[in-house]
A and B are shown apart, each in its own frame.
Chain A
């Protein structure tokens, strides 16, 4: 079974508009962390935002916010005021708390295209 599911293979958004990228996860571990990374065509994985399973508030980092709904096991990324430079692949990933590990399980990604 997929542990991280990103159901949107691709999305378009107009510049300056907000966009939500979906991510659902599956784990029985009460302790876990959720990450979002951006991967431009150059290949590097750029860290955007992190949400721990015990964090009470939704994470925010500048124009990025994470809509964390624990009961629904969803961790959607919201990008406000989209910019042309936001065009990239976006990956949701989870680190399960079981054991001392930094192993990440990645979703299949969402390709975001920002249109002028």
Chain B
């Protein structure tokens, strides 16, 4: 069974550009959540989706947005990139909207560098 797949794995952008990251959850999983990991702030929750609906959103500016498609794949977009957006972006998938079994798995992440 394939795991959570995130693309691209690495990317470099310049300030002011925008970026789109993709996450394909484990087959059958309908919940996808996104996290940003930086050395200074640690792991911070961005947003989560279940059946194409955003269920929860973290404390990030409106430049960060996301969506989920009918096949459960999810994308997140960051517009007008800033240097501080350089981070590892991690996606997690789960079968249920509220997992209570520990079935919450992460992808390998997309490492974004903003120059």
Contact = CB atoms under 8 A, between A and B. Distances in A.
Interface stretch (A11-19, A20-28, A40-48): A40-48
Interface stretch (B13-21, B61-69, B78-86, B102-110): B102-110
Nearest to A106: B43
B74 interface: no
A103 B56 contact: yes
B100 interface: yes
Chain B residues touching A, majority SS: strand
Contacts, number: 79
A1 interface: no
Nearest to A107: B42
Interface residues of B, number: 29
A100 B98 contact: yes
B92 A104 contact: yes
B45 A43 contact: no
Nearest to B105: A47
A97 B100 CA distance: 8
A102 B94 contact: yes
Interface string B44-60: 01001010000110100
Interface of B: 31, 33, 35, 42-43, 45, 48, 50, 55-56, 58, 88, 90, 92, 94, 96-102, 104-109, 111
Q: Which 4 A-B pairs have the closest CB atoms?
A: A50-B102, A45-B106, A106-B43, A44-B108
